[in-house]
Amino acid sequence: MSERHTGLALLLILLGITAYRAWVVASNGLNLYVDEAQYWYWAQDLAWGYYSKPPVIAAIIAATTSLCGDSELCVRAGSLLLYPLSTWLLFLVARKLFDHQVALLAAVLFITLPAVSLSSTLISTDVALFFCWTLALYAFVFALDSDAWDDWLLLGVALGLGVLSKYTMGIFLVSALVYVLAARRFDLLRNPRAWAAILVMLLIVSPNVWWNWQHGFPTFQHTADIAAGSTQGVLHWDELGEFLGGQFGVFGLLLFPLSVWVVWKGQVAHKTLLLSFALPFLLIITAQALFGRANANWAAPTYVAATLLMAAWLYAKWKTLAVVLVLNIVLGLLVYHPAPLNQVLGGDLHKRLKGWDALGAQYLALQQQYPHALLLADGRDVLSELAYYARPNGLQGVSWNPRQQQRHHYDLITTLHDKVGQDFLLVTANSTLPVGIEGYFTTVRALAPLHVEVHSTYKLNYHTFLLAGFKGLVLQ
State residue 228's pLDDT score: 63
Q: What is the mean pLDDT of residues 265-281?
A: 95
Strands 458-470 and 441-446, by their bridges, are antiparallel
Does one domain contain both 206 and 116? yes
Clarify whether residues 271 and 372 are in a common domain.
no
In a domain, 476, yes or no: no
Distance, in Å, from the CA atom of 434 to the CA atom of 334, rounded to the nearest integer, reads: 41
Structural Rg of the chain based on CA atoms: 24
Claim to verify: residue 340 and residue 390 sit in the same structural domain: no
Mean of pLDDT over the chain: 93
Q: Looking at the structure, do residues 271 and 360 belong to the same domain, yes or no?
A: no
Sorted by sequence, the CB contacts under 8 Å of residue 346 that are 6+ apart come out as 457
Query: pLDDT value at position 476?
Result: 45
> Which of the listed residues 315, 345, 375 is the one where a domain comes to its end?
345
**What's the pLDDT at 392?**
64
Count of domains for the chain? 2
Does 219 lie in the same domain as 99?
Answer: yes
In this prediction, residue 227 carries a pLDDT of 65
CA-based nearest residue to 404, from 391, 394, 417: 417
Cβ neighbours of residue 296 closer than 8 Å, sequence gap 6 or more: 242, 243, 245, 246, 247, 249, 250
Give yes or no: residues 306 and 446 share one domain.
no
Question: Residue 1, exposed/middle/buried by CB under 10 A (0-12, 13-18, 19+)?
Answer: exposed
366 and 436 housed in the same domain: yes
Q: What is the pLDDT of residues 329-349, one digit of tens each?
A: 999 999 999 989 888 888 899
213 and 140 in a single domain? The answer is: yes
Q: Are residues 77 and 208 in the same domain?
A: yes
364 & 294 share domain? no
Do 235 and 290 touch, CB atoms closer than 8 A? Answer: yes
**Are residues 190 and 153 both part of a single domain?**
yes
Q: At what angle do helices 149-163 and 125-146 cross, to 10 degrees?
A: 160
Q: Quick check: is 350 in a domain?
A: no
- Could you tell me the residue range of the domain that residue 364 belongs to? 355-470
SS3 443: strand
Per DSSP, what are the bridge partners of residue 377? 399, 427
Q: Which of 316, 345, 374 is the last residue of a domain?
A: 345
Q: Are 367 and 375 in contact (CB under 8 A)?
A: yes
Of the candidates 24, 64, 35, the one whose C-alpha atom is nearest the C-alpha of residue 353 is: 35
Cβ–Cβ under 8 Å, residues 377 and 397: yes
pLDDT tens across 143-178, in order?
999 999 999 999 999 999 999 999 999 999 999 999
